[in-house]
Structure 1
Amino acid sequence: MERPLAWRSVTSIAVLLFGVLLALSPGYGYHRDELYFRVLSEHPAWGYVDQPPLTPMLARAGIALFGDTLTGIRVFPALSIAILVVLMALVARELDGGPAAQFMVALGTATGAYALMAGHSMLTLSFDLPLWAATILLMLKALLREQPRWWLAAGAMIGLATYNKHLIAMLVIGLAVGLLAAGPRRLLASPWLWAGALVAVVIALPNLLYQITNGWPQLTMAAALSEDKGAEMRVLFVPMQLVLFGPVVSIMAAFGFVRMWRDRRVRALAIAYPVAAALTLISGGRFDYTGGLILMLFAAGCVSVEAAGRSWRTALVLNGLGSALIALPLIPASVLGATPVPAINEVSGESVGWPEFVAAVDGVLRTLPPDERARAVVMTGNYGEYGALAQAGVPRVYSGHNQLWEYGPPPESGTTAVLVNIGPGGRALFASCERKAMVDNGVDLDNEEQGMPVYLCQGLERPWSTIWPMWRHFS
């Protein structure tokens, strides 16, 4: 018999979370990814070299509906994580969790560090977590209820998820390995399972066609990310599994793994976690790629400890307080750099100092005579810098970073350029380059832009159309 859903407590947590996230949305400033999504949203496409189109298009919708402000662009992430809370409670119910287990899952999900980060800022993670949760819920319905038609719905959700990130493939691979290793293998012969796979492919087809016709840029991007930070991500993987949603959630997830392992009907999904972990370590991917599966195991763990709910609820509250300090803009930006928070939550450090960055670059431009300033271009090293300048209205900004390279080259008249975060190879293309300013975020926070020199370069010695391929880079 299906357990009742604890609608009142679960929806109360979701609505409260949504309100808190919106209230805190103006904190710090834009994250570099949000600035990038603003730019991509002005160039609608089926895909981009570094990501599918869903998150940029939701940024476009948020700006259109709620205004081109920090809060406006963050409404959909906050709503998405509120939906995640409800979905995870449904996952717990599907695993035979009663109202107490569902409440714990909702509480732990809503106060987990990465859920709070994803709800506060617009990241691809903001929408990937609920998409994984919905897919896992539909898979559990197919596995536990022995109603194979649910595979069609799961396939549809997988296809939709590919428009946000292709990482949903890790869940599919994990389930496949789990079914082969632990069964029930009869499912592999189910026409409903394969029909679901076909639905996923059909829905994802425009996305796949973009990749095929553009030479699989996502593979190029993945290789660049692995080369850039792969070793660092492998070192951080294990400790960050404890930090993603807080140590209490991780401990409860361990109980959940045992519970799902013991139930042959869902053992394949339990195996999906170590498979995804192995794939992440091998590829040098980010440690948060397993986040959706950690939440699934956490939901199962809440069912296991439901009888001892009071002590676990207290632990989850304490876990949530620590997560909030890490994930939300509760610490004043003026002292943020003196805390360990930016080292744990890179989103916070990458959301501070953009107005000062823009002022430094614009200040150099304003030193030029009006006629020269009208022709000058700005070259940036990464998409956050490009996005900050574009958001501030600085004209003729270009970058070779990821998708932004596609929006160049600069006009041939731009023989004078302000260069920021550009190495000596780029500066060598000009007859002269002089350092004119230094970026100071004013809060002594050591992020990528802090202390960055701003160069004024004049006398471009070769046409932009000739040298533009040299500027392209992925990271």
Structure 2
Amino acid sequence: MNLTKSVWPFILLLALIKFALPFFLQHPVYELHRDEFLYLEQGRHLAWGYMEVPPMLSWLSYLTHVFGGSFFWVKFWPSLFGAITLIVTCAMVLEMGGKLFAVVVAGLCIMFTAYLRLHFLFQANFLEVFWWALSAYFIIRYINSKQIKYLYWIGFSFGCAWLSKNSVSFFIIGFAVALLLTQYRSLLLNKHLYGAGLLALVIALPNLIWQYNHNWPLLHHMEELRETQLKFLSPVDFLMGQILMYFTAFFIWVMGLIWLFTAKSKPYRMLAWIYLTVIVLLIVSSGKNYYSMGLYPMLFAAGSVALQQWTTVKLKSLRWVTVAVILFLAGFTLPMAMPLWEPDKLAAFYQKRDVEGTGMLQWEDQQNHSLPQDFADYLGWKEITEKTEKLYQSLPQVDKDSTVVYCRHYGLAGALKYYGKDAQFKSKVISDNGSFLHWIPNEFGFKHLIFVGRRMPGADDEVFQHFEKVTLIDSVTYKHSRQLGDKVIFFENVDSIGSKMAAEGLKQMKQEFNRKKL
């Protein structure tokens, strides 16, 4: 990276602040996010793919468990990659001709926009943003140097991005469209471009083979998302999200997009076409607003350079006004970006400021609640774990040995495995939701079942109709939790028909995602 000695210390300082800041901004009452429990469990079942995401996050999960699995190590990886993403963004600034001021502005954009929360969540999105940003950096390096090696670095980044999240296919399509629409279309006849594509394919191949052998669960997952979430989204909501997610500095990325289309930045116009292509693809496919987050580091870099170039001599004072505005808006929006206070205080703040009108309190059920859905997803896990494990530990040993703990969704199952204290108890936890389905032993017997989920199983859940006794034990009472009302129910003495139905149902569900080997 072309970092001068004078700028390097500032970039490192910004990166250090970026890494450490979220640890001080989240109130300790909040637990892990429901999705984090799933991804942590993937680290105990290493494979080349999962129903939800490719394998790269599971490698970091494995390391998290090696280091003890504490809250710090869970959050270490998104914080680290957030800091590195900031460095890559600042490097793009320098490559496009920016100086120290532009570097500072770009760093603030990565620190105090939607990336503040993103880079404290152990989810594949922080890897996606990093690899997209790195791809953009190598594109700029190629533009500046015309060195063939950077085509291969682009291919390497695309391949690694696929192993972190399959959505890089949008960026790759955007890259292809940008080649066609710019002076770089001659690259389409360059054998090294296809060599770079082959490198990306080789890196992604293990996951592609895994997808094939499991009947493309990626497609099943996307179909489920469309049926349960994406169908509620509108193009207007998506486009508004592109402003609101970066509210503290949205004018910087807007300036960046405009600047990329100016004559002075013509060599980098490819980045603008990549952005517009991906945005159009996401609108057409009803993507969520955060699916585009990997695009904005390059726009913030471009916008910072534009601001520097447009505020020379007489307008130079506007530079520091811009920095002040970003910091002011960051302070104003901080309670919406991070769970700064305990839930009651935060909910009262939202009510006083009428945050409901912004849509930030609307969950996937399209209803407004006391906290943003992400924040509500941090609560109630310890409570449900303690109540479930208390029931399990109250059983005689002979009943413990013949009891399974069945959870309706992966968040509950993962939370019980993460917060549970007894190894035998944790080994009894199963779920047929998401990747947990594949981790249920093919052969397992049980006499009793502890059910953990929102609703009492109905008549259509036939297996549950074959128990001798059913007792409602407890439920989640944390009022701000998304798990409020989740129940712990004890089902005793299953009959032979119920046992057989459970085994056959499990076999059938697994077969749907496993291609028969010839």
TM-score, structure 1 as length reference: 0.91
User: 1-side partners of 2:241 and 2:387: how far apart?
Assistant: 35
Match for 1:420 among 447, 452, 462? 452
Change (3 A) 1:281 1:435: farther
Which residue in 1 is equivalent to 2:368?
none
Tell me if the contact between 1:419 and 1:457 (Cα under 8 Å) persists in the aligned partners. Answer: yes
Which residue in 1 is equivalent to 2:314?
none
User: 1-side partners of 2:86 and 2:222: how far apart?
Assistant: 30
Which residue in 1 is equivalent to 2:329?
319
Match for 1:451 among 485, 488, 494? 485
User: 1-side partners of 2:288 and 2:27: how far apart?
Assistant: 27
Give aligned pairs, total: 468
Q: Deviations over 1:399-458 (max 9, x none)?
A: 11111111125765313212222642336533346351443343x2141x1112332223
Counterparts of 1:21-420 in structure 2 under 5 Å?
21-23=22-24, 27=28, 28-65=30-67, 67-113=68-114, 115-234=115-234, 236-244=237-245, 246-262=246-262, 263-306=265-308, 307=311, 308-338=318-348, 339=350, 340=355, 343=362, 345-366=372-393, 368-391=395-418, 392=420, 393=422, 394-395=425-426, 396-409=428-441, 412-420=444-452
User: 2-side partners of 1:342 and 1:435: how far apart?
Assistant: 35
User: 1-side partners of 2:372 and 2:199: how far apart?
Assistant: 37
1:468 aligns with 2:478: no
1:290 offset after TM fit, Å?
0.8
1:321 offset after TM fit, Å?
2.1
1:252 offset after TM fit, Å?
1.6
1:144 offset after TM fit, Å?
3.4
Indicate the SS of the match to 1:120.
coil
Q: Deviations over 1:272-298 (max 9, x none)?
A: 222212222332332211112122112
Q: Deviations over 1:330-373 (max 9, x none)?
A: 12134344435665853322111111111232344355454323
Indicate the SS of the match to 1:371.
helix
1:120 offset after TM fit, Å?
1.8
1:165 offset after TM fit, Å?
0.6
Tell me if the contact between 2:157 and 2:200 (Cα under 8 Å) persists in the aligned partners. Answer: yes
Match for 1:430 among 456, 465, 484? 465
The amino acid of 1:426's aligned partner reads D
Change (3 A) 1:234 1:420: farther
User: 2-side partners of 1:362 and 1:410: how far apart?
Assistant: 24
The amino acid of 1:232's aligned partner reads F
Indicate the SS of the match to 2:399.
helix
Tell me if the contact between 1:10 and 1:86 (Cα under 8 Å) persists in the aligned partners. Answer: yes
User: 2-side partners of 1:290 and 1:118: how far apart?
Assistant: 13
Change (3 A) 1:342 1:121: farther
1:256 offset after TM fit, Å?
0.9
Identity over the aligned pairs, expressed in percent?
A: 22
Tell me if the contact between 2:182 and 2:270 (Cα under 8 Å) persists in the aligned partners. Answer: yes
The amino acid of 2:439's aligned partner reads Y
Indicate the SS of the match to 2:405.
strand
Tell me if the contact between 2:75 and 2:120 (Cα under 8 Å) persists in the aligned partners. Answer: yes
Q: Deviations over 1:118-177 (max 9, x none)?
A: 222211112221111111100111123333331111111111121111111211101111
Change (3 A) 1:335 1:418: farther
Any gaps of 5 or more consecutive residues in structure 1? none
The amino acid of 1:56's aligned partner reads S
Which residue in 1 is equivalent to 2:16?
15
Which residue in 2 is equivalent to 1:440?
476
| Structure 1 outlier segments of 4+, above 6 Å | 470-474
User: 1-side partners of 2:173 and 2:333: how far apart?
Assistant: 31
Tell me if the contact between 1:438 and 1:451 (Cα under 8 Å) persists in the aligned partners. Answer: no
Tell me if the contact between 1:409 and 1:465 (Cα under 8 Å) persists in the aligned partners. Answer: no
User: 2-side partners of 1:104 and 1:266: how far apart?
Assistant: 19
Q: Which stretch of structure 1 is more off in the superposition, 429-438 or 206-215? A: 429-438
User: 1-side partners of 2:212 and 2:372: how far apart?
Assistant: 35
User: 2-side partners of 1:227 and 1:47: how far apart?
Assistant: 23
Q: Which stretch of structure 1 is more off in the superposition, 42-51 or 175-184? A: 175-184
User: 2-side partners of 1:149 and 1:232: how far apart?
Assistant: 44
Tell me if the contact between 2:135 and 2:154 (Cα under 8 Å) persists in the aligned partners. Answer: yes
The amino acid of 1:230's aligned partner reads L
Tell me if the contact between 1:226 and 1:283 (Cα under 8 Å) persists in the aligned partners. Answer: no
Q: Which stretch of structure 1 is more off in the superposition, 279-288 or 148-157? A: 279-288
User: 2-side partners of 1:352 and 1:99: how far apart?
Assistant: 41
The amino acid of 1:467's aligned partner reads G
The amino acid of 1:168's aligned partner reads V
Q: Which stretch of structure 1 is more off in the superposition, 412-421 or 194-203? A: 412-421
Change (3 A) 1:17 1:345: farther
- Which protein has the larger Cα radius of gyration, Structure 1 or Structure 2? 2
Indicate the SS of the match to 2:234.
helix
Q: Which stretch of structure 1 is more off in the superposition, 313-322 or 421-430? A: 421-430
User: 2-side partners of 1:251 and 1:438: how far apart?
Assistant: 50
User: 1-side partners of 2:124 and 2:361: how far apart?
Assistant: 19
Tell me if the contact between 2:113 and 2:248 (Cα under 8 Å) persists in the aligned partners. Answer: no
1:57 offset after TM fit, Å?
1.3
User: 1-side partners of 2:340 and 2:509: how far apart?
Assistant: 39
Tell me if the contact between 2:75 and 2:121 (Cα under 8 Å) persists in the aligned partners. Answer: yes
1:300 offset after TM fit, Å?
1.0
User: 2-side partners of 1:405 and 1:3: how far apart?
Assistant: 48
Q: Deviations over 1:90-133 (max 9, x none)?
A: 111222222111110011111222x1112222111122211111
